[in-house]
Structure 1
């Protein structure tokens, strides 16, 4: 599943600051992960190092895309597709990054009640194909078809970590069931974003932000010492303009912000319903509890996984997942914003009621949220 995530960084395009910093940014349309990668850096006047830093960023994303790709083969690289192609046949030797990414996926499967399930590739593929056709039909004023119910039910039999053998010592992965396939779309882009950010830090890069298709990762605190301000899009009007955002949220430091929403890569089927790209592996259908869930935390891979997991979970179970993650990681910084339609109620005092939405948030964001539209 290629999950496109949607946050808008509220920044001043090309502006100068009182300390003579200028914002520079470069884009890559072919670094992989089915998205545009943006590299943004605040530099002192006359500094052109950002171009080299941007190219390092794009090169690293291209490298990780090849490793985690489940659709294409690459010369001299064993990737997710190689593992899938050898399901039921043999173990595949892979780079350590693939092993580490899969082990991280397994951890989030365990704490998310199975909502992050990269072993459900067969199920996700059925929806991927239906969505691609449905979106094309929608552009022509026609409606798509949802996957066949019997095929979805059959796909439940062909998933599960009991069918995946990871040999961390020998760096091999073996799928024991020939009908099981891995789809790491809920994990890979965020994992790659975090690894790229960590690499850039070792290269002494700071005052920079990576935007991997809405998966935002700041490499340090903001260049002027102030808080970052990120816009969360209005699900009913998901414009890219900052002025059209539903709300903004403030946070500081080297944080990541990721949103999973139902308003991108969705299609309308013949039953009149809109079906998003975020599949609940238990129901076999796209999750529809919320309009969006935003995670703000230090690790971009964590933010990516948890935005998907919490999108599929009831509010109370989502809180349990947050609690478990913090318990496992020394009470790490982790904050959440849920945006839901008016018929969804949250049992919390941390809530905003707008004309169209109920918006819940975790305690650490109290006083950090500003509703700017749909009041």
Structure 2
């Protein structure tokens, strides 16, 4: 045997020992932990579920989550000032006055919002601050009236139309090189309520992964972001909430996923008041009518990116079903590497003519064809 053969055998033997030792090493056991907070902003409960080696490790991730959500809440807030922070309120306060230097997160969020304005047929529009401010005031007054047993008032169309003159992306100037945002019309303002929470959730989820979290769930008041796969290989399960104002804890369906995905719902049962004739006036305003959208009761979207989920759920809720379905199908055709599916919830029997629906209690659910493999109702 040559000296070279002897050295080769020794080398192979060494690697064999390493392989055997590696094979004998037990995989690290991960334990499920959970915690929640109401102190991280966005006017909601934020929950983290994480699989970690011990509670100390989970607690560290939880503090990272709280800190980042708090930071992003301050940036995206349109109502409050924070020392040393230029936020959405700062931009609005300087409308017609001067550009405002902002954090990159604001620039990126506004670019995403602008990107989907035209493809959504204008149904997703963060420049509607002037109109939404009127609805915010009427909703506050309406909720106060409701607590006294009275119906709330409804803003007159002429008031909304006057405010609508101030909406449009032509009034918003984004300078990426200078990192500024300028509203060039004094009566215009931004309202990022339709994207901010989901966008923040995506940033937080990615940060947690970068910090080492291997599996978990970030739930920001119903914006659910799944992180990777469960350690035991089982699928994540996320329920679709009932839009029944009296019983929103009921789950109408369950969506299952075995990888990073986001489940986001837009519905008429959040932030609403009761007007004349017991009509519900919710916060999802149709830019084409300037009044709350009256298509489905809710729509739930399944897609990986939570910021995109928040953005795209709005046109799927606001647009008539045939237009919403066309929007979804075009998205999937234009983005073959990105999955997006949806479930529309209607009052029982009120689903669009010609659609296949499954009745659950007092509701009828219409699933996009591509989401059916993820649905409990279609796989029981």
State the TM-score, normalizing by the size of structure 1: 0.88
* Counterpart in the other structure of 1:111: 119
Q: 1:123 aligns with which of 113, 131, 135?
A: 131
The secondary structure found in structure 2 opposite 1:181 is: coil
Q: Is 2:274 the counterpart of 1:274?
A: no
- Cα displacement (A) at 1:238: 5.7
Q: Is the 8 A contact 2:52 2:213 kept in 1?
A: no
8 Å CA contact 1:218, 1:254 repeated in 2: yes
2:299 to 283, 289, 293: 293
Give the structure 1 partner of residue 351 of structure 2: 344
Q: 1:369 aligned to 2:378?
A: no
Post-superposition shift, 1:143?
1.3
**RMSD (Å) for aligned C-alpha atoms:** 1.9
> Tell me, which stretches of 5 or more residues in structure 1 are unaligned?
1-18
Q: Is the 8 A contact 1:238 1:245 kept in 2?
A: no
What are the equivalent positions in structure 2 for 1:1-375 lying under 5 Å apart? Answer: 21-44=30-53, 46-236=54-244, 239=247, 241=249, 244-341=250-347, 342-345=349-352, 347-349=354-356, 351-354=357-360, 356-371=362-377
Kindly tell me: are residues 188 and 103 of structure 1, through their superposed partners in 2, closer, same or farther at Cα, counting changes over 3 Å?
A: same
Show the counterpart of 1:16: none
**Is the partner of 2:80 in helix, strand or coil?**
coil
Higher relative contact order (CA 8 A, sep 6+): 1
Q: Looking at CA atoms only, which structure, 1 or 2, has the larger radius of gyration?
A: 2
Alpha-carbon distance in 2 for matches of 1:276, 1:192: 23
Take 2:212 and 2:374, find their aligned partners in 1: how far apart are those partners? 30
Distance of 1:120 and 1:240 partners within structure 2: 28
**What per-residue deviation string (whole Å, max 9, x for no partner) do you get for residues 11-36 of structure 1?**
xxxxxxxx965432111212111111
Task: Give distance in 2, aligned partners of 1:291 and 1:275.
Answer: 12
Which consecutive unaligned segments of at least 5 residues does structure 2 have?
Answer: 1-27
String of CA shifts for 1:178-224, please: whole Å, max 9, x gaps.
00000000011111110111111111112211000100001111232
